[in-house]
Amino acid sequence: MSENVFLSYAPQDKDFVDAVRPKLAGLLSTRNTPFEVFDAMEHVRPGEDVRGALKKAINVASTVVVFSSPAADASEWVNYEAGMADALGKRIVIIGRKDRQSENTRLRNRLADRNFIKVDYAG
């Protein structure tokens, strides 16, 4: 049986997300459990009810990965997704660059009780 992982990030962080994606199994400690990734940028079709699609995907996800950055902090969608995951009691893992900008965001502070993983990224 596989797990579902929902990725929440700002479009400006796509290069960082793409660099981290191959490492997700190790970062999430799911090396022996296969998982499916839901990425709204890839799975929500034009004209689809975006909020409905996101809520459905978050509801079936076992883990929600929030990529922390100043762009994510300013994103209405990332804040919506993180809030929905929190309200649904989902496991939330925050991933950010090893820099102060990823660590000191309002989003990160609001989810301070959740796991925060720092990743090297030169991008």
Q: What is the value of pTM for the model shown?
A: 0.88
Q: Give pLDDT tens digits for 11-20.
A: 999 999 999 9
pLDDT at position 121 is 80
- DSSP for 84-95, please give it: HHHHTT-EEEEE
In CATH, 3-119 is 3.90.1150.10: no
Q: Where are the domains of the chain?
A: 3-119
What confidence tens digit (pLDDT) does each residue in 83-104 have?
Answer: 999 999 999 999 988 876 666 6
pLDDT digits (tens, 9 = 90+) for 25-77: 888 876 667 788 888 878 888 888 889 999 999 999 999 999 999 999 999 99
Q: Answer for the pair 71, 99: CB distance below 8 angstroms, yes or no.
A: no
The two beta strands, 3-8 and 115-119, are unpaired
